[in-house]
Every structure is written in structure tokens, then in C-alpha cells.
Amino acid sequence: VKWLEWVDGENDEVRAAGRWRTLRTFDPDSDGGGVAGRLAGHDGEVVSFASNDYLGLTQHPAVVSAARAALDRFGTGAGSARLIVGTRSAHAELEAALAEWKRADAALVFPTGFAANLSVLSVFADATTTIFSDALNHASIIDGCRLSPARVEIYAHNDVDDLGRRLRHLRGGRRAVVVTDTVFSMDGDVADIHAVADLCARAGALLIIDEAHSVLGPDPDLDGVDALRVGTLSKFLGALGGFVAGPRPFVELLVNRARPFIFTTALTPADTAAAHAALAVYRSAEGARLRDRLRGHVDRLRAGHPSPIVPIVLGDEARAVTAAAALLDRGILVPAIRPPTVAPGTSRLRVTLSAAHTDGHVNELLAALHDIDASP
């Protein structure tokens, strides 16, 4: 078979399943706080409710100028892997700040959060390990499980009883890793980390939590349990990259064994410095104000909802796609999320809010959702 024929056949299969996707260009306006801008092929301004830049820090003057200063000092790329000559003082400074923030001995940055998850699972879960993974964990955790030679057990979503039962049935001699998102990326719900940590402490399991979306918490205290905290610099820290924070020997093992860390070029100095400046904003009084503002937007959509990811489940795929198109006609960009990303019958609008949204943006969103009968 000729390659092109095979590729055409595969593409036809995706189209026939109604799952064909194409890239859309969205350019934020310079004064739009990162949320308002132009969408290629669409007339007029669009307000995006689709980004993970939850605090608007990609546009923060201190973050942008830190990236600029790093460019001036270090140039664009790091030019090599961290273990060769790719480590800059910017990396070490950010790692110290991340460790302090997460109350950990040490932290290590990776080019993406995806690479951080691949790394922790492939390094800490060997063939004598069983990984217990929440059914709704992120794709990078699923792929990390696939990369590891460990046995993998999927426990029911957020079901601490199911996890406990499975841990009790672990055969003697096997080590256990429990891995969970703290905020689930398609549902915006949160894991009961303290209950999961208690189970891990009792079973002697290593707990790995992915805090990519935990801009509004939870920020669990993990004393008394072996734990690694995975995070990303790419969402509310406004840059690109991922990190792992934990006990120093665990971080040292990652430096020595994690292939997605060793065999890839270091995070760029500009992203590193941007994330460091964003972390300083996050931890300042201004950061607290931005989180309060975000919290207020979330409450207006769904009072008490624990994260800025607000799913509006509509059921069938066509309904979600039609609803997203109707919103776009009004200049509001909300993605329709369909299988295979979510289970069949649970297609949804996935609204993500940002402190950069104005009250007016949120009012418009609420009115539009009401008009299309998709109330949050």
C-alpha cells in the first residue's frame, strides 16, 4: 500500500466518526488581557473562554519583562540538554522557588508538564510496581503508565473506597504508586487528596499528584506520606514547562533516570524566567487578589464550584457542537469537548474562566448560555 493511500484512509476514518479537527488561529489583542482577540475566519472580536491562563499572567508586565531580560542575558534557546551545558542559573533559581512554594526539598523543571508526568511514572514504577490511576487522569498520566513496565490498575473516578480495596489486595512484595490529578481537566472537580494520602501512608504507596489546574487549590499538606507533586508552568504560571517537587533523593533519581528529562533540550531561559516571575506574582498580595477575582467569576457561573474549569454537559456530540457554534456567532469562544476526550453521551461545553475576564465578559457569557438553553 502506498503511504498516501493509507494516510487518506486513516483521515477518512476520523472524518467518518465525526471527529475531524483542524487548527484555528487565535491572536489576542494587545489590550485584551489575553482573552479578547481575533479568531481566523471570524469577523469581529472574540472573547475566549478556552485558555488555561487562569490569572492572565501571560500578559503581566513583570512576567513579560522577566522573559525579555532572560532573552537579553541568555539568548533564545538553551542549546543542549540540562545535563550537558543546558542548565542556566535561571533554572536553578526557579527550581529553588518551586521547591519552597511546594514545601519540598527540591524541584526539577521539564520542557512540559507532559514530560514531567512521563518521567515520574517511568522512573518510579518498575516491573515490580503496581500503579493505581484514577479513571479520569490526564492523557500524559495515561501515557506515563504506558511507558512504565508496571502493572496498571484503573480505579473508579474519585472513588476512595475502590482505591482502598485495590490497595488492600496488592500482592505482597509489590510496591504501589497511586497517581491522581488534583483538579480533573475535563470535569473541573477535585480529588479528595487527604483521603488518598491516608490510604497511601497506610499501604506504603508513593503518591503522585498532578496539580496542573490547581490555581484555586487544593494545596494539600502531604506530611507523613512519600509524595511527588507534578505541576506545569504552562497554565496559571503563564509560560511553558513542567516540574516535579519532592524529596531530594527522588529528584536526583529523576535527573539520572528520566529519559524525557535527559534526552531533551533544556527549558528555554525566557520561559524559565517568565514562570519564576509569574510564581512571584502568584504568591504576592496581587496574586491573592487575582485568585479572588477568578473565584468570583467561577461563583457567578456555578456557586461553590472548586475550579475555573466549568463543564456544561449537554449529552450528544451534535448538541455540543451546535451550542459552541451558536456561542461563537455571538463572539464567545467555548470549545465543545467530545469523545474520545470524554465518555460518549457526556459531550459538553468546557468553559474556563480567567481573572483577565471582565465582569462584562462573564455577563455576556451567562446571557448567551441562557439564550441557547445551556445554563451552567
Ligand X SMILES: Cc1ncc(COP(=O)(O)O)c(C=O)c1O
What is the contact surface with ligand X in residues (CB under 6 A)? Answer: 112-114, 117, 138, 140, 181, 185, 210, 212-213, 232, 234, 242
213 classed as catalytic: yes
- Distance (Å, rounded) from C-alpha 333 to C-alpha 325? 9
Nearer to ligand X, 213 or 361 (CB): 213
Nearer to ligand X, 265 or 322 (CB): 265
**Which sign does the torsion angle of CA 101, 283, 297, 333 carry?**
negative
> What order do you get walking across the sheet with 332-333 strand by strand?
26-28, 36-39, 45-48, 332-333
> What order do you get walking across the sheet with 347-352 strand by strand?
309-315, 347-352, 336-337
Nearer to ligand X, 132 or 369 (CB): 132
In whole angstroms, how close is the CB of 326 to ligand X at the nearest point? Answer: 26
SS3 120: helix
Residue in 102, 235, 305, 361 annotated catalytic: 235
- Distance (Å, rounded) from C-alpha 324 to C-alpha 369? 10
Nearer to ligand X, 56 or 188 (CB): 188
In whole angstroms, how close is the CB of 84 to ligand X at the nearest point? Answer: 23
> Are 106 and 247 in contact, with CB atoms under 8 Å apart?
yes
In whole angstroms, how close is the CB of 210 to ligand X at the nearest point? Answer: 5
Nearer to ligand X, 184 or 250 (CB): 184
Q: Going by DSSP bridges, is the β-strand pair 129-134/151-155 parallel, antiparallel, or unpaired?
A: parallel
189 to each of 202, 216, 289, how far by Cα in Å?
Answer: 25, 12, 23
Nearer to ligand X, 153 or 210 (CB): 210
In whole angstroms, how close is the CB of 54 to ligand X at the nearest point? Answer: 12
Report CA dihedral (45, 302, 214, 135) to the nearest 10 degrees. -110
In whole angstroms, how close is the CB of 213 to ligand X at the nearest point? Answer: 6
SS3 337: strand
357 classed as catalytic: no
> By beta-carbon distance, which residue lies closest to ligand X?
113
Residue in 122, 185, 214, 234 annotated catalytic: 185
In whole angstroms, how close is the CB of 230 to ligand X at the nearest point? Answer: 7
Residue in 60, 91, 213, 361 annotated catalytic: 213
Report CA dihedral (114, 117, 122, 124) to the nearest 10 degrees. 160
- Diameter of the chain measured on Cα atoms: 63
Write out the catalytic residue numbers.
185, 213, 235
